[in-house]
Amino acid sequence: MKRDKILPPPITKDDLSIEYITPEIAQSFLDNQRKNRKVKNNVLNKLIADINNGTWFMNGATIAFDKDGKMGDGQHRCLAIIKTSKPQWCIIVRNICEEAFNTIDTGTTRTISDVFNFNDVKNYNITAGIVKTYLGIVNGELRTSDDSNTISSSNSGQSAQYLLDVYQKDRKNFDYAVLIARSKYDKKKLLRPSLIGAIVYYLLVNKKHKEEDIEAFFNQLFVVRDSEMNVINLLKDRLEDDKVRRIKRSANCLMAYIAKAWNAYLTKNDMRRLLYDEKKEGKIDFL
């Protein structure tokens, strides 16, 4: 019987150890750590309580270091040891590869934004949201959130590392989408920046439209008080009314209204009424 080739392990037993971590050692780890998220006080306080109550257990979680010896996981545990002045036995793992830190869950789950932040992505919150929402548009996985005019994406099966890879492969165009999203949202908060940027990127990359055409449309929607085209005024009124009345439309419905306005703007075929029947018309795509 043919046996599958066994790949060598990414780390060896020499990279693993169980060590007694004193407050001094914990501080040295913190002084030499990778870029990390902000300290979550609720997580830290729970660990402090566990240590003080004698309910801290070596449960398999590790303090992890990269190949340069910088700590990439264990910040909250080290701080808890320092705060309580009580040394603890910990599992230490060294020589973890760079990409692996984007998949680690610690005392609190690493969000997609955390992973983008760790990798020095500017405007990491908005950028992560734009990438995720864009993939939702492409894959048909958009959904409405509790707030009106807010769309998110389930992106089932897509890891934070995958989303980061998507961004890094086309950083220039995503950064452009972030720029447009931030500037328009600051003018008028009709849609979330993640949705604005996702649509901008989709029109630019998937539909091959010019930047000036995209910017002109969103400028009419978010900046100009009375647009030159009635359909954009109708869309603006609908979005504002939905927000005030907290109307929750389906993702397909909200995207259809935006797509209809864009298509009318692009073809210069203005509309006196902006209507959409989801059952009869189905999904409306952007031209």
pLDDT score of 151: 57
Q: If we measure between CA atoms, which residue out of 53, 67, 60, 58 comes closest to residue 105?
A: 60
- Is the CATH number 3.90.320 carried by domain 13-107? no
CB–CB of 172/201 below 8 Å?
Answer: no
Strand, coil or helix: 255: helix
Strand, coil or helix: 144: strand
pLDDT score of 109: 56
Residue 203, burial from CB neighbour count under 10 angstroms (0-12, 13-18, 19+): buried
In the chain, CATH 3.90.1530 covers 13-107
Q: What is the mean pLDDT of each run of 10 residues along the chain (287 residues)?
A: 68 90 96 82 85 84 90 92 96 86 59 80 91 91 62 61 90 97 94 95 97 96 90 93 80 92 95 90 92
